[in-house]
């Protein structure tokens, strides 16, 4: 089944129509509230809520044919909202949950990221239930299970965008930089990160451990992208222009997501 058939002009005309409807509704709302003697703050709040509702309808990212450019734009705009604190109202009603249960999921992006409690993709990108297909493990590394999860997301759930999301002050990276004895499970994670550490250390022999760790976080995310591209399913979709796989990094204090490639 082809999950990436473009709807072209129909979607463009639909979105333009919804924008016009938004202008009409917002204009009418403001006029009515002015006549009713509402305060400027009440008018501004109502205007923002109305524009948000219409905007969400106009940018329906769950339809077949959504491109990775559209998905990436939604991700970037969502992160801007998160950074500014101007988040969208989330519909977490039973109606939404029922719809997702009965009609299935249609996420528009796949996020492979770290299990760190400070890194929550739905919050960082200001998205709702059913928007993101999220895969998490310590160190945002990939092996057979993670790669298979991404394959499912892009082939069956139809997401046109995959983001490998690293973050600052990653404990798994720090453990790799510091070395020492650890458990077999954690060692398996370190073994996945160590090639990136060796590469960064070789190129930055005089750098501090903190500087090394920061660069390893970047390099490890890029290496995870390279590992994913070894999958025939993923690579074929990338080569055909239907899928984009990128590395990014989350900055803990600012809340910003930086795209690395």
Q: Residue ranges for the binding site for Zn(2+)? A: 114, 116, 167, 170
Place of tokens 């709702």: 128
Annotated binding-site residues read 114, 116, 167, 170
Length of the chain: 261
Q: For the packed helices 209-228 and 144-155, what is the interaxial angle rounded to 10 degrees?
A: 50
Say how far apart CA 212 and CA 205 lie, in whole Å: 9
């Amino acid at each position: 089944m082809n999950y990436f058939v473009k709807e072209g002009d129909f979607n463009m005309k639909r979105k333009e129509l919804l924008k016009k409807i938004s202008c009409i509704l917002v204009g009418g709302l403001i006029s009515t509230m002015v006549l009713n003697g509402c305060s400027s703050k009440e008018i501004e709040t109502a205007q923002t809520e109305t524009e948000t509702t219409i905007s969400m309808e106009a940018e329906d990212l769950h339809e077949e044919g959504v491109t990775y450019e559209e998905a990436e734009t939604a991700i970037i705009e969502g992160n801007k909202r998160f950074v500014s604190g101007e988040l969208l109202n989330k519909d977490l009603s039973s109606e939404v949950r029922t719809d997702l249960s009965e009609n299935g999921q249609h996420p528009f992006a796949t996020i492979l990221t770290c299990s760190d409690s400070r890194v929550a993709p739905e919050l960082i990108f200001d998205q709702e239930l059913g928007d993101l297909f999220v895969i998490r493990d310590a160190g945002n590394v990939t092996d057979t299970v993670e790669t298979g999860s991404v394959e499912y997301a892009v082939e069956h759930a139809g997401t046109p965008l995959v983001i490998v999301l690293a973050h600052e002050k990653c404990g798994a990276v720090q453990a790799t930089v510091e070395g020492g004895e650890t458990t077999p499970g954690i060692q398996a994670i370190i073994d996945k990160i160590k090639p990136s550490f060796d590469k960064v250390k070789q190129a930055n022999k005089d750098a501090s451990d903190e500087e090394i760790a920061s660069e390893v976080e970047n390099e490890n995310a890029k290496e995870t992208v390279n590992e994913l591209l070894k999958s025939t399913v993923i690579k074929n979709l990338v080569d055909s222009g239907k899928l984009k796989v990128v590395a990014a990094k989350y900055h803990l204090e600012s809340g910003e997501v930086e795209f690395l490639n």
